[in-house]
Amino acid sequence: MLRQRTLTALLLLPLVLALILLPPTWLFAILGSLAFLVAAWEWSALAGCRTTMGRGIVVAGAAVLFLALNLVRTPGVLNVLIFVGVAWWIGVLFWLRNLTFAAAPNAENRLLKLGVGVLVVVPTLAAAIALHSSEPHGHWWMLFGLVIVWAADTGAYFSGRFFGRRKLAPRISPGKTWAGVYGALVAGAFTAWLGGWLLGVPDTDHMLGLIGLGLLTVAASVVGDLFESLLKRHADVKDSGTLFPGHGGLLDRLDSVFAALPVFAAGKLILGL
């Protein structure tokens, strides 16, 4: 499994780098919207939509929201959506304390989870657009936010594998350990320092703030990962899809990013970077 996951990641990496670093922001926003439509398709299944027509309606609704965001993506709108996303992920902490909330497969919970999907996906798209369009080095700041999450995932995997004993949330995701969280935080902090140095963060105060932001970004990524794991348990599925061999669906690759990117973008704004 590790070999398959690594091979898939290596094949996808050049494509992801090209999609982030090469296009102008308007094209990046369109491509990101198309990718998120795939995520909306997978989310509809986790929410409880069982028919192709029902899932298609969800994707069509998401397309309308993404189109509106692409047409009206002023800094003010993007910033409001980013902080709405941060507030949502803080609220998720309370949901994770009540694992049976909205677990029953009924119409009310299905509608609730579809609404939650809006709070998950739209602020992330807004954060991606805001980061990509920021000056200077917006494309690199967008990549920077993702690299922190990727580094944290890698640190969590190896730290958890070699040192993991105490489970983080066994009722949600039995494979995750506190050692994995510590490894993720160390990897995220180091990546934040390295990225800040490469991007020319101006002084010690800003660098310390960026390292702190890296830690918060990693913490958010853990929450995002746990939340998707909880929804998969509600839906009684192992993966959100089968798009990527060894990795599952697009949601399985983006669950951490959905929570981390709004936090990273909000912190960048607060720090004035």
> What residue ranges do the domains of the chain occupy?
2-271
CA distance readout (Å), 116 to 24, 40, 47, 112, 123: 30, 11, 9, 6, 11
- Residue 159 CA to residue 182 CA, distance in Å, equals 8
Cα–Cα–Cα angle for 120, 103, 107, nearest 5°? 80
Amino acid 81: pLDDT: 97
DSSP per-residue string spanning 175-221: EEEHHHHHHHHHHHHHHHHHHHHHTT--SHHHHHHHHHHHHHHHHHH
Specify whether the CB–CB gap between 265 and 82 falls below 8 A.
Answer: yes
pTM for the full model? 0.94
AA letter at 132: H
142-188, pLDDT tens digit by residue?
Answer: 999 999 999 999 999 889 988 988 999 999 988 899 999 999 999 99
Indicate the average pLDDT of the chain: 92
Whether the per-residue pLDDT at 246 is higher than 60: the answer is no
Burial of residue 27 (number of CB atoms within 10 Å: 0-12, 13-18, 19+): exposed
pLDDT greater at residue 243 or residue 141? 141
Amino acid 234: pLDDT: 92
pLDDT greater at residue 214 or residue 202? 214
* 138 Cβ contact partners less than 8 Å away, ≥ 6 residues apart: 25, 131, 132
Confidence label for 2 from pLDDT (cuts 50, 70 and 90): low
pLDDT greater at residue 252 or residue 220? 220
Confidence label for 5 from pLDDT (cuts 50, 70 and 90): low
Whether the per-residue pLDDT at 11 is higher than 90: the answer is no
Amino acid 239: pLDDT: 77
45-94, pLDDT tens digit by residue?
Answer: 999 998 999 999 999 999 999 999 999 989 999 999 999 999 999 999 99
Amino acid 251: pLDDT: 87
DSSP count for the chain of H helices, then E strands: 9, 2
Confidence label for 101 from pLDDT (cuts 50, 70 and 90): very high
> How does strand 173-177 pair with strand 167-169?
antiparallel
Whether the per-residue pLDDT at 3 is higher than 90: the answer is no
Confidence label for 240 from pLDDT (cuts 50, 70 and 90): confident
Specify whether the CB–CB gap between 69 and 44 falls below 8 A.
Answer: no
AA letter at 244: F
Determine the average pLDDT of the residues in 113-129.
96
Confidence label for 215 from pLDDT (cuts 50, 70 and 90): very high
Of 162, 188, 160, 186, residue with least CA distance to 174: 160
- Residue 269 CA to residue 254 CA, distance in Å, equals 22
CA gyration radius for the chain?
18
- Percentage of residues in the chain with pLDDT exceeding 90? 78
- Percentage of residues in the chain with pLDDT exceeding 70? 96
